Structure 1
Amino acid sequence: MSGAHHEIEDLLRELTPQVLGALVRRYGLFDVCEDAVQEALLAAALRWREAGVPDNPRGWLVTVASRRLVDHVRSETARRRREDALALATPQSVLLSHAADAVPETDRDDSLALLFLCCHPALSAPSRIALTLRAVGGLTTAQIAAAFLVPEATMAQRVSRAKQAVKTSGFLSSPEGAERAGRLAEVRHVLYLIFNEGYTATGGADLTAPGLSAEAIRLTRLLRRLAPDDTETAGLLALMLLTDARRAARTDPRGELVPLAEQDRDRWDRALIAEGVDLISRTLPRGQVGPYQLQAAIAAVHDEAGHADATDWPQVLALYDLLEGFGPNPMVTLNRAVAVAMVHGPAAGLGLVAALETDKRMARHHRLLATRAHLLEMRGERAAAAGAYREAARRATSAPERRHLTERAHRLTGSARPDPARG
């Protein structure tokens, strides 16, 4: 794709939430508006490549999407369900107009309210993710399905259910006070889940899905612009930048997983690290510290170490101690166990891992077994470590992780590696 086409694609994705927000605020019919905006985006992608980007691209999209919406309402199949509701929501003169000037342009940006709507706590996590990527991210259903390795029909059903769930939410609005803080937390969590799925895919042949992580970072930058005083949003963005900076070094030329301690740090993205360190350094002193800020601070300690042996593990452990203070989280405890082992020895870390084995959320998780194997290896218990690595591999759903864990077991036992074609 040429540079001009990339610029158009980037512009369309940037304008998607603004245009959808404007239509939903005006008409109040989320599902119809979202379909109309998707059609307008497709029309723009085709027309602008030939005729060039109009002087007012946002107004162009709002106008075309409004026309598409009117077409939907006028259609024989949709009229009985939607025409009365739309007539109550907007003047008939606007509905009947097809002139470009009939839909006035506004400087109001409803992107944050749209994020709140897509991440409503009444929706399931998969529905929030799917709706956010489609309505705010501007991704097609096919693109989202490909990223999550599910059939397009499955993702289409997920998006449809999510749109139906928000259909009764009424006009676009931004909550205030405690409700606003709670909804911001929901939005951050959805973006965090999207990033994590992109950074370490839960299934499939590839370790990562870079497109998802990039979209999560883009949307988090948008969220920070819309909520500039929210320190946890800044912390989340810093965490994503500092984590994604290591992406190139996470796999070897064959696509196999490379653990943090063994990565070639010359391949880390120093520009992302500098941006992330600067952001978290400016954010931490500003107000109440939260979990995303602490995770970003931990990532910064790792990223600033010139080599694995230079990692300031006592500082990492102190940060994990603070992080655990925000409430029980078995994954945080698991990561803290590694820090404890690095500071106080593997036996101390294994004690924490053993305690997690009674947690139903973690008892059969491959990462619990992989951590146990790593600490047993540190302790010199090679046979026990190999067995734990093999069991972790059996439970891993990601093919690269499964191969990596199997390889660790083979290294400890000296046995022949399995045929990669079968692994």
Structure 2
Amino acid sequence: MMWVEKYRPGKAEDMVGNEEARARFLTWLSGWERGAKPLLIVGPPGSGKTTLATAGARQLGYMVMELNASDARRKADLEGRVRALGSTSLMQEKRLLFLDEVDGLFGRADFGGLEFLAEALKELTLPVVMAANFESSDQVKKLAKLSTVVRMNRVPDRLIEMYVKEILRKEKVSIPEEAIRSLVVAARGDMRAAINNVQAASTGGEGVQPLRDRPLSVSEALEAAMAAANLERAETALRECEASPEERLSAAFTSIVAAELPLEVKREALRSLTRANELLGHILRSQRWRQLRYFDSLLAQALVGVKAPYVEDDLPWPLKLRIWNDGRYLRAFQSYLARRYRISRGDATAFYLHATLLVLGKDPSLLKGLCDEAGLEEKVANALEREYKLLVGKLGR
């Protein structure tokens, strides 16, 4: 069993750090009356938002009904789920609606989830708690204006260290003091990551090496995963990687294909990579970012025990840089074209992308206007402008 679940606090006072946020939550919920504003908890991953909402509510006698908002981004999906959960209970028990990852509502502007949620919050007759990782987006700021906002910070290293040491004591596991400290520092205030790292390190016995206090490069992470003695340590290395999931997947594929491995070993590794690729595609389409933890697990399955060197792909650096910088913005525009014309993204790329650029690209303001209309950020328009210049250069216009 994962320690992060086994030792999840049952009450708000069992948590560590964010004392003011915990007190504000309990004060808000204990004094809640019909018509009161909902509560929006904002804080970085691993700061305890979900634990505070669920443990604090149960502590005060509420049954928690949890909905991951990013799993229902369309207005119709969200409306059906929220209204069902918010309906009157025949048992008259105290209920609280917890909407996690509300910042995941806003991956596609035409879905209408935000507008519905803003209206529903005024009508629901039970306490509503929402959680978001980031407050910087305009959409989350709109929700914040309708809510009582509680902000959570990363948990201080000294408190995380005390907490994981208590877990190790209960598990009767010994890890060198220096290794514990390094694992805690590497987590950067993310309690969940620290506990996961310590659990993974605990399988290494006395030979545990402290992790770095900086992210691993993609080459370091892949080499560590391929040399790992077990799956847990391979996953730990991949979680510490600074590269995007797409970069890690691409680098893993290049290294495995180039490696001199028995055919069956290579086949099994590529099967795991295929599953990781399918999962990543699903995550990007649905924006269910929580499932990235399973992506690292599949990637680790492909790499652990391979015992091969990291192989850099042979794409020219300028091309790699352009793919990394502009690729996601161009994909966002391709997805918009696919929705607008009700075609596949492949057809949108093949038949509509360059035609649209040739028609509108001469005037950057037209591209910007189209992106504004589509709800796409300014960086998409900038990437399209660069793509137009390259296209015109190739055509010799």
TM-score normalized by the length of structure 2:
0.30
Q: Which has the higher contact order (CA 8 A, sep 6+)?
A: 2
Which structure has more helix as a fraction of its residues?
1
TM-score, normalising length: structure 1: 0.28
